[in-house]
Amino acid sequence: MKKFLLFVYLLGIVSYLGYSQSLTLSNENGPVANDSYINVLGLPTDDEIVVELNITNTTAEPIPVLCKKVEVNMVSGTASLFCWGLCFAPNVFVSPDPITINGNSTNDADFSGHYLPSGIPGMSVIRYVFYDERNPADSVCANINFQAYPLGISTPSEKASVSVYPNPASGNVTFSYASQDAATSLVIRNLLGGMVKEIALSGTSGKVAFNTGDLPSGIYFYSLIVNGNAASTKKLVVRH
């Protein structure tokens, strides 16, 4: 019995260590919560809109850290790239080589995310994930709302909103939306940015029901599409 209890205890310790969060994020405004959203503003005429993040190793041991870019929702005709030590082309989504962050140290020089609006107004959502090369489950991420709007034009949070209930979901959900301009559709995307469902909408406000039974358990993002752009994007968790 004692040996069994010891085994369970050790198994619990291993599980905890295997999934503990050894990395944290911050920026010029202070700590950034894991999986949080940050609004970064710019103009469609900007060559690029840039976000910078600091990555901290909270353990005593060095960690080889890889960076992954996930384009959750991109305005058509725009592009993005990121730098993790080196800067990579828009078609690179994972840094080829890790950067080692020493124990109890912060890397505040090697990461930047670059959004290229190409003169097109709208909001694109890009997630940046930092993880231990040896244990990808040990990760931290931030979602960046790159908002490129002309001066005098409202940002998405002011002109449109969308929400879902219940969340997390296991069956039927209801989306509620409101916008100054008529919404055309609601788009649901997976973690890789692939569209899994598009729901037609009409009018400036309303509710629409959707059954999540066909979606595997996981994290998704839903976007309210107004005038061809994602006016508001939020997270949906599906648990069966």
d(CA 71, CA 79): 9
Mean pLDDT of all residues in 63-92: 94
pTM across the whole model? 0.66
Q: Which residue has the higher pLDDT, 185 or 128?
A: 128
Q: Which residue has the higher pLDDT, 141 or 222?
A: 141
CATH fold match for the domains 23-148 and 156-238: yes
User: Which residues have a Cβ under 8 Å from the Cβ of 93 and sit 6 or more positions away?
Assistant: 68, 69, 70, 71
What strands lie across the sheet with 49-51, from one edge to the other?
49-51, 111-116, 79-84, 86-87
Fold of 23-148: Immunoglobulin-like (2.60.40)
pLDDT at residue 230, rounded to an integer: 75
Residue 204 has pLDDT above 80, yes or no: yes
What does the radius of gyration of the chain's CA atoms come to, in whole angstroms? 20
List, in sequence order, every residue forming a beta bridge with 162; answer none if it has no partner: 177
List, in sequence order, every residue forming a beta bridge with 222; answer none if it has no partner: 188, 234
Run of H or E including 64: strand 63-73
Say if residue 215 is exposed, middle or buried (CB neighbours under 10 Å; 0-12, 13-18, 19+): middle
Is the bond preceding residue 168 a cis peptide, omega within 30 degrees?
yes
Task: Choose which CATH entry (2.60.40.1930, 3.50.50.60, 3.30.70.1450, 3.40.50.720) describes domain 156-238.
Answer: 2.60.40.1930
d(CA 69, CA 238): 22
- Domains of the chain by residue range: 23-148, 156-238
24-71 residue pLDDT tens:
999 988 999 999 989 898 888 888 999 999 999 999 999 999 999 999
Taking the CA atoms of residue 93, residue 75, residue 33 and residue 21 in that order, the dihedral angle to the nearest 10 degrees is: -20
93-133 residue pLDDT tens:
999 999 999 999 999 999 999 999 998 888 899 999 999 99
d(CA 199, CA 35): 26
